[in-house]
Amino acid sequence: MPEIKLKSIQNKLKARKIECFLVCDPMDLFYLTGIDLQGGYWIVVTAKKATIITSEMLYQQVSDLLPGFEAVKSRKFIETLKTILKTEKIKVLTIDPKKMSLGLGDKLQKAIKKVKYVSVFFESLREIKTENEILLIKKSCNSAVNVFNEIRKEIKPGMTEIYIADRIMELLYKNGTGAAFTPIVAGGINSGYPHHINSEYAIKNNDLLIIDLGARLKGYCSDLTRTVILGKIPELCDKVYNLVKLAHNEAIAAVKPGIKASFVDKKARFLINKEGFGKEFTHGTGHGVGLEVHELPSVNSTGNAILKPGMVITVEPGIYIKNNFGARMEDTVLVTENGREILTRGAK
């Protein structure tokens, strides 16, 4: 698997005429190698080879786990990097400054004669998932669905948002996954905040309750939101809930390869605007999901990315009425060769 991803990176280096790229961000290292060592090593990638710079403590482990890579022990990573560049006759080192501290960026700039900057190098690679990544995301989604269905059966008036969120975390671990993020549980008036911070609010009969949760399995995330109706809700709540559901379904139906991500946003936003709630839809319709719960492509009004098979996105329109209530519905969706597959469909 690392060799396949390495080849993809090297092809991109050739296409962009990049001589050498330094990988030092822990998330990018995990993407490339599948090993989570919280950093602790760098990878120097050229068109022909990849060299790992690592500490003596991690050297044997890295060598055993990544036999297809050359590993070098080092106490001074930058000095070792300089030696590699000289040996390989590399004239320009390319880095992504957003993926490192200002201090490290300054040190590299001073130590290396020629440093070139690029951005969103790995993010664009990570947009299209491999078969193994898709399998892990599907399993992560299954866990999220199972947990939602379990917590839905348990919810009753009097429970606090914090209690429900803690219970979701417990269920995620019981399902063999971690949490992709702290669950959002927003009841009653709190559902009017898109990213409410869980509180001691005790849910009541006739509340709308937004539950936003995600699982993480071997690094890969899922994202799922449902709005739960407790008892009989007022007419306006019912109207908004059904409008969000309709916009959600219309947007998902639009997902297919070859269209702009912004078109998915447009489908949801058109219906919500038409009913006069446009100002209450305050965020994009979705985002990419993978190693991070929010990554490329962006599914919003300015999302220029063309959807391609293997991309995994969310579709999550919402309406939030200040000091009153809100509703949101979200699914994780795989772009397939002929359309889409809803990976979190089973959440009821």
Q: What number is the average pLDDT over the span 141-147?
A: 98
User: pLDDT at residue 131 above 80?
Assistant: yes
Whole-number pLDDT of residue 113: 84
Contact 303, 234 (CB under 8 A): no
Whole-number pLDDT of residue 300: 94
What is the pLDDT confidence band of residue 5, given thresholds at 50, 70 and 90?
confident
User: pLDDT at residue 339 above 70?
Assistant: yes
Which has the minimum average pLDDT: 17-26, 237-246, 306-315, 331-340?
17-26
Measured between alpha carbons, how far is 43 from 346 in angstroms, rounded to an integer?
40
Question: For the segment 234-273, what is each residue's pLDDT rounded down to a tens digit?
Answer: 999 999 999 999 999 999 999 999 999 999 999 999 999 9
DSSP symbols for 277-294: -GGG--S-SEEE-SSSSS
DSSP symbols for 216-275: EETTEE--EEEEEE-SPPPHHHHHHHHHHHHHHHHHHHH--TTSBHHHHHHHHHHHHHHT
Contact 342, 335 (CB under 8 A): no
What is the pLDDT confidence band of residue 126, given thresholds at 50, 70 and 90?
very high
Contact 264, 296 (CB under 8 A): no
Contact 52, 66 (CB under 8 A): yes
Domains identified in the chain and CATH numbers: 2-126 (3.40.350.10), 131-342 (3.90.230.10)
Contacts of 201 (CB under 8 A, 6+ apart): 160, 161, 187, 188, 190
CA neighbor of 291 nearest in space, from 340, 222, 343, 212: 222
Peptide bond into 234 cis (omega under 30): no
pTM of this prediction?
0.91
What is the pLDDT confidence band of residue 1, given thresholds at 50, 70 and 90?
low
Measured between alpha carbons, how far is 109 from 106 in angstroms, rounded to an integer?
5
Question: For the segment 64-79, what is each residue's pLDDT rounded down to a tens digit?
Answer: 888 888 899 988 999 9
Question: For the segment 188-229, what is each residue's pLDDT rounded down to a tens digit?
Answer: 999 999 999 999 999 999 999 999 999 999 999 999 999 999
Whole-number pLDDT of residue 110: 87
Contacts of 328 (CB under 8 A, 6+ apart): 194, 210, 212, 225, 227, 244, 316, 317, 318, 319
What is the pLDDT confidence band of residue 122, given thresholds at 50, 70 and 90?
confident
Measured between alpha carbons, how far is 198 from 86 in angstroms, rounded to an integer?
54
Contacts of 31 (CB under 8 A, 6+ apart): 5, 122, 125, 126, 291
User: pLDDT at residue 348 above 80?
Assistant: no
CA angle 15, 18, 24 (to 5 degrees): 120
Q: What percent of the chain has pLDDT over 70?
A: 99
Question: For the segment 28-64, what is each residue's pLDDT rounded down to a tens digit?
Answer: 999 988 888 776 889 999 988 899 999 889 899 888 8
Beta bridge partners of 228: 209
Q: What is the CA radius of gyration of the chain?
A: 23
Enter the tokens of residue 29: 């290292």
